[in-house]
Amino acid sequence: MNKYLNHIVFEKISQLSNYLKIESFVVGGFVRDCLIIEKAKFKDIDIVCNKDAITLANLLAKELKIKDVTIFKNFGTAMIKYEHIHIEFINARKEYYEQSSRKPKIKYGSLIDDQNRRDFTINAMSISLNKKNFGELIDPFKGQNDLKEKIIKTPLDPDKTFSDDPLRMFRAVRFANQLNFNIEKETLLSIKRNRQRIEILSNERIIDEFEKILLCKKPSIGLKLLFDLGILKIFFAEFYDLHGTEKINNHSHKDNFYHTLEVINNVRKKSNNIWLIWSALLHDIAKPKTKRYCEKEGWTFHGHEYVGSKMVPKIFKKLKLPLNDNMKYVQKLVLLHLRLIPLTKKNVTDSAFRRIIFEAGNDINDLYVLCEADITSKNKEKVNKYLNNIEFVKSKIEEIEKKDKLRNFQPPVDGKIIMQTFNLKPSKLVGEIKFKIREAILNGDINNNKKEAENYMYKIGKELKIYT
């Protein structure tokens, strides 16, 4: 295993451990990734010591001339950053859990104690950094074999592993998705038995793992696993409720859950923007609420984009996602995801294109990605037709935007000018005048410049009898 340790960090840790008369090991993801891809990833390195982890971190920082050492005294851990590498030092420990809490009681222990508390066998391997056996792989749970077999399996009793920290159920799904592994049968059954335990987790911790699933190359694998295991229904019922079809009088509709999985996959192929992926996940979220049956049309979901955009803040708040511009971005894309379709019809006025440019702003390209991803038909002829329609819309929008300069449009006449011109105080009337000027520009009644906007403002003033 020495070939994976050809870096000054490991050399220095080994020397300093010998000086302190302690034992140290590199553990976890670094070891796993080395064995999977046969190439060391120097990004995140976890070091376990039998004692004095903080002392070792401080000495290493001094040797490598690193000024900042982050110390967590309560946990006996320390972290330093060297070049692009994050190195965490921790004392080997045992963990004891109470049924009602995720927070463990900690007691210092040996390397094997530390390996026993790991989530999966593939993460429970370690490599010695000690002088006597430098580079030796320590693998008490046959993690190397599970890597070869592509299996996710707990080191100890899975019921205890998942009961102690239910987040490990999400991590099992995530690793299965990331690595294209299978979850071992008993481990899988244990997740089903213990799934209700996720209720003790904070949504912040869940979302951290959930978003790692969304950022996998093919997120549908992990999302389908969460669905099959009954986990999705517990923590994200709105997403789960998309599942299912209904048939009346030979009229049926597609399964919106599986459709959404395809859309997410399609977006992920083109982007790693997590908020664009969230937009894909939520684009049809209101279909269960808006589903109606009519004999002539069959199943309809009228207004699901509008209702869905109203649901976004509530979902974000419940899941503890940020209630900031990222939420507004998702809300906007959910609202607009059907707006390109009408623009492909004949006799569409330029004003319709101006409005989508105005409403989408700088996010217009992301809207294209979402709209293209939303095409999940198995009919290649249909797909090509829809894609060609979107290309037409793109070229038309580009043409109009270049001519009218409407990207992130702000009326050339603002509220301050309106108040000064008509001697008005801040009021609803000022907003109404500003709105009318904006509408005139978007409708193509006037051009997007200050002179025409001011002339139109005077016209409105005369109509309202506040200007002579």
Residue 448's pLDDT is 82
Three-state DSSP state, 198:
helix
**pLDDT tens digits along 143-157:** 999 999 999 999 999
β-strands 182-183, 151-152: how paired? parallel
pLDDT confidence tier of residue 312, bands split at 50, 70 and 90: very high
Closest CA to 273 of 196, 147, 365: 365
- The model's pLDDT over 18-27, given as tens digits with 9 standing for 90+, comes to 999 999 999 9
pLDDT at position 108? 65
E-assigned strands of 287-331?
A: 292-294, 298-300
- Residues linked to residue 248 through DSSP beta bridges, in sequence order: 251
In a domain, 255, yes or no: no
Q: Is residue 247 part of a domain?
A: no
More confident residue, 241 or 439: 241
Confidence of residue 180 (pLDDT cuts 50, 70, 90): very high
Residue 169 belongs to a domain: yes
Cα–Cα distance measured from residue 115 to residue 121, given in angstroms and rounded to the nearest whole number? 9
Q: Grade residue 347 by pLDDT with cuts at 50, 70 and 90.
A: confident
Domain match, 386 and 427 both: no
369 contacts 340 by C-beta, under 8 angstroms: no
Q: Three-class SS string for 113-164?
A: HHHHCCCCHHHCCEEECCHHHCCCEECCCCHHHHHHHCEECCCCCHHHHHHH
Which pLDDT score, from 0 to 100, does residue 409 have?
A: 63
* Last residue within a domain, chosen from 235, 250, 279: 235
Whether residue 422 sits in one domain with residue 387: no
How would DSSP label each residue in 408-435? Answer: T---SS-HHHHHHHHT--SSHHHHHHHH
Q: Looking at residue 16, what is its pLDDT?
A: 95
In whole angstroms, give the CA distance from residue 417 to residue 421.
6
Instruction: Tell me, yes or no, whether 124 and 19 share the same domain.
Output: yes
Q: What is the dihedral angle through the alpha carbons of 406, 409, 413, 414, rounded to the nearest 10 degrees?
A: 180
Tell me the average pLDDT of the chain.
90
Q: What is the pLDDT of residues 32-66, one digit of tens each?
A: 998 887 655 668 899 999 889 999 999 999 999 99
Structure tokens at 406: 């409407």
More confident residue, 50 or 2: 50
Instruction: Provide CB contacts within 8 A for 359, sequence distance 6+.
Output: 332, 336, 339
Higher pLDDT, 298 or 280: 280
Per-residue pLDDT tens digits for 186-230:
999 999 999 999 999 999 999 999 999 999 999 999 999 999 999
Instruction: Output the domain CATH number for residue 212.
Output: 1.10.110.30
Q: Measured between alpha carbons, how far is residue 289 from residues 110, 327, 337, 441 in Å? A: 55, 21, 18, 36
Q: Average pLDDT, stretch 298-310? A: 94
Which residues neighbour 116 within 8 Å (Cβ) at sequence distance 6 or greater? 94, 124, 155, 156
- Residue 26 shares a structural domain with residue 59: yes
Residues 451 and 340 in one domain: no
Confidence of residue 139 (pLDDT cuts 50, 70, 90): very high
pLDDT tens-digit map of 65-99: 998 899 987 777 899 999 889 999 998 876 655 66
Q: How far apart are CA 73 and CA 54, in angstroms?
A: 8
pLDDT score of 95:
60
Q: How many domains does the chain have?
A: 4
- 159, burial (CB in 10 Å: exposed 0-12, middle 13-18, buried 19+): middle
Average pLDDT over residues 267-272: 97
Residue 404: per-residue pLDDT: 63
Residues spanned by the domain of 422? 415-463
Q: Which of 123, 146, 169 is the C-terminal boundary of a domain?
A: 146
Residue 45 domain flag: yes
Q: Is 465 helix (H, G, I), strand (E, B) or coil?
A: coil
Asked if residue 209 lies in contact with residue 171, where contact means CB atoms within 8 angstroms, the answer is yes
Give me the pLDDT at residue 299, please. Answer: 87
Is the pLDDT assigned to residue 104 strictly greater than 60? no
Whether 351 and 304 map to the same domain: the answer is yes
Given 146, 175, 200, the domain boundary residue is 146
Instruction: Answer yes or no: do 135 and 30 share one domain.
Output: yes
pTM: 0.86
Examine the domain organization and report whether 137 and 188 are in the same domain. no
**High-pLDDT (> 70) share of the chain, %:** 94
How many residues appear in the chain? Answer: 468
Looking at the structure, tell me whether residues 10 and 139 fall in a common domain: yes
Instruction: Report the C-alpha gap between 319 and 325 in whole angstroms.
Output: 16
* pLDDT score at 256: 96
In whole angstroms, give the CA distance from residue 140 to residue 124: 8
**Residues 209 and 111 placed together within one structural domain of the fold:** no
